[in-house]
Amino acid sequence: MRHTGTALAAGLLGLVLAACASDPTGPAPGASASTGPTASGSATVTGNLTVLAASSLTESFTVIGSRFEAANPGVRVTFSFAGSPTLATQVTSGAPADVFASAGATSMDAVVAAGAAADPQTFAVNVMEIAVPPSNPGGVTGLDSLAVTGVKTALCQPQVPCGSTAGKVLANAGLTVVPVTLEPDVKSVLSKVQLDEVDAGLVYVTDVHAAGDKVKGIAIPGDVNASTSYPIAALERSANPRAAAAFVAYVLSPDAQAVLAAAGFRAP
């Protein structure tokens, strides 16, 4: 706490000033007395922050990142979106990053096993949906249509969360679907649909939502649908651990959870 001198005797003033100099509650040199909590509930953070996130988080995390920056004007957030296995490999190979948000537990488990992160927390859940071009040239009406000869279907590669989850959906429905392409991430599947290169793609509900009128969504019955969980963790080698922890806390906060819900994600 800072003290202002008054019309006291010189000796008393000297004592007051000495007490102020040793006051442990005073702000550090150069610190602002107005420093307060952020939207994440932590002290104000600064610096650069690199977040590696699953491609299905692109739209929602872009909004969340902007809001986090607004709450912390001294922070600049940079995102790298890709398939979760690709990002996990980058992390375990030592790529510089501060936060990892994965689609599915497998990639996060690999990062934790490598000692690159600890205590991941699940912040969202996603389910699958069929995406078709607006004109629906393949006449797709549901999952059964994907097994019809001549219907061109795009899936994610099986090692990618959207691919393994799509595999569970098809297994639950008792269907065998031979895709015409296996894509590295869900946004690539969605792009194939948007470009009319395929008749259908199995993507997440959130991807259909984000695409707007560029695709048409066909719901998958709940009794055969499957879900993907999304864990997040600050990385052990983060160059900005304070900001990394604050970002993770913000993703778990009601404000960020509202953004995710509006994008179609479900609460964990």
DSSP string of 134-167? TT-TT---SGGGGGSTT--EEEE-TTSHHHHHHH
Q: Is the pLDDT of residue 124 over 90?
A: yes
Cβ neighbours, 10 Å, residue 31 = 10
Q: pLDDT by residue (tens digit) across 223-267?
A: 999 999 999 999 999 999 999 999 999 999 999 999 999 999 999
35 has a pLDDT exceeding 80: no
How far lies 265's CA from each of 41, 180, 233, 247, 250, in Å? 23, 28, 18, 19, 16
CATH class of 126-227: alpha beta
Residue 90 in this model has a pLDDT that exceeds 90: yes
Query: Looking at residue 44, what is its pLDDT?
Result: 78
Summary mean pLDDT of the chain: 88
Q: Would you state the pLDDT for residue 31?
A: 33
pLDDT band at 43 (very low <50, low <70, confident <90, very high): low
CA distance linking residue 217 with residue 35, whole number of Å: 47
Query: Measuring CA to CA, how many Å separate 256 from each of 79, 96, 267?
Result: 16, 25, 11
Fold match flag (47-125+229-262 vs 126-227): yes
Query: Residue 232 has what pLDDT?
Result: 98
pLDDT digits (tens, 9 = 90+) for 145-158: 999 999 999 999 99
How distant is the alpha carbon of residue 46 from its chain centre? 20
Region of poorest pLDDT, from 31-35, 48-52, 85-89, 187-191:
31-35
- What does the pLDDT look like over 160-183, one tens digit per residue? 999 999 999 999 999 999 999 999
pLDDT at residue 221, rounded to an integer? 97
Domain boundary assignment for the chain = 47-125+229-262, 126-227
Task: Decide yes or no: CATH 2.130.10.10 for domain 47-125+229-262.
Answer: no
How far, in Å, CA of 32 to CA of 44, rounded?
Answer: 11
Say how far residue 247 (Cα) sits from the centre of its chain: 10
Q: How far apart are CA 244 and CA 49, in angstroms?
A: 7
The mean per-residue pLDDT over the stretch 83-96 comes to: 97
pLDDT of 48 > 50? The answer is: yes
**Cα-Cα-Cα-Cα dihedral of 64, 53, 248, 250, to 10°?**
10
